[in-house]
Amino acid sequence: MRGPAKVRVVVVDDSPIARGLLKSLLEADGDIEVVAQAVDGDAALLRIADLRPAIATIDLDMPGVGGLELIERIMATTPIPLIVVTGKELGSELVGQAVRRGALGVAKKPAPGKGKELRDEVRRLARVPVVRHVGPRARARAPSPDAPSRPKTPVTPAAPTPARTLARDAGSRPKTPVTPRPVPVPIVGIAASAGGPTAVASVLRALPPDLPACVAVVQHLPRGYTPHFARYLAQNTRLRVVIGKGRIGPEPGLVVVAPDDAHLVASFGGWLSDSSEAPVAGHRPSATVFFRSLARWLAHSAVGVVLSGIGSDGAEGLADLRAAGAVTIAQDQATAAVYGMPKAARDAGAAMHVTPLPEIPGLIERSLR
């Protein structure tokens, strides 16, 4: 009797030493098979189209068709899960671009005998269904270098709220009590994971600069990538983008991005802050933690949105938010690069609306009115 089918992998790297090491590390447990190796992007495209592996590992620095272009072309023509295996820092801008273009995961090139984490990640991501996405469509939406530029506010750390200013200047002047807003600014919470960066940018790009709400984004990212992600969003929206460190007073037209390795939570009075509480279902930041905080403190003054992503993070929190009277939205299957998180929200009955990505910004605006 045959055993379980092996996970079929194509390894793409211009270094024969790196390819040989990856092959030996990946095949160490016997349940993963490297079915082909490619030295550059052109060869990789042919191997993947011909063999249809479950997953491919991609190096970023290659001659000819480089790693970034290769990721984009695979996802636009023969979409399969991709994991970047690189010697670069995982928080680098280049790695961040790979995630935005469709890579589902990133990993450091392992040392000999140290491949368990990589094997576990390959097994996990190989089971993730992906759809055709990214490619020229994303670039066509981005402004060209010659296009008239629109005013943008650079990404900055959030300005100190009165409470933080008082803490910094304690003892130098009389303390003034800080009171919460009597009517909290509405908050649009957006959650996403794999395939999410471009989806989040698409939604923010379509929202008007006079949006009468604050937008809070919980995006699963490789550690160290949040600043790059925030800058990417700032380049794709007329709203102001900050990273949610400390205590932030939500403002209309402000986008708050969950910080690295911390939850983003709402609290009494509508304030937003970071939290170092333990990960939930392996996630920090967790979309469920954030949506539950919105349900508790803002209820119907919030809108919850779940976009492309692996797994089910956010589904339970979105259900609480809907039960509290908020409008809740999940991206539909046809437009989601990875239909994990939106499907979980839909199946749990947490999403009031299951909507194509291009229609979500308009639905957000109508919900706020």
Set 260, 274, 313, 320: catalytic member: 313
How far is 369 from 367, CA to CA, in rounded Å? 5
pLDDT in tens, the chain (369 residues): 566 789 999 999 999 999 999 999 999 999 999 999 999 989 999 999 999 999 999 998 887 788 899 999 998 888 899 999 987 776 677 888 888 888 888 888 888 778 899 999 999 899 888 877 644 444 443 333 333 333 343 444 444 333 322 222 333 334 444 444 445 799 999 999 988 998 999 999 999 999 999 999 999 987 788 998 999 999 999 999 999 999 999 999 999 999 999 999 999 888 999 999 999 999 999 999 999 999 999 988 999 999 999 899 999 999 999 999 999 999 999 999 889 999 999 999 999 999 999 999 999 999 998
Whether 193 is catalytic: yes
Please say whether the beta carbons of 86 and 108 come within 8 A: yes
Set 13, 14, 40, 193: catalytic member: 193
Whether 313 is catalytic: yes
How far is 318 from 330, CA to CA, in rounded Å? 10
Whether 312 is catalytic: no
CB count in 10 Å sphere of residue 159? 13
Q: Which domains does the chain possess? A: 7-138 (3.40.50.2300), 156-368 (3.40.50.180)
Tell me the pTM.
0.74
DSSP-assigned letters across all residues of 41-63: HHHHHHHHHHH--SEEEE-S--S
Set 133, 220, 228, 263: catalytic member: 220
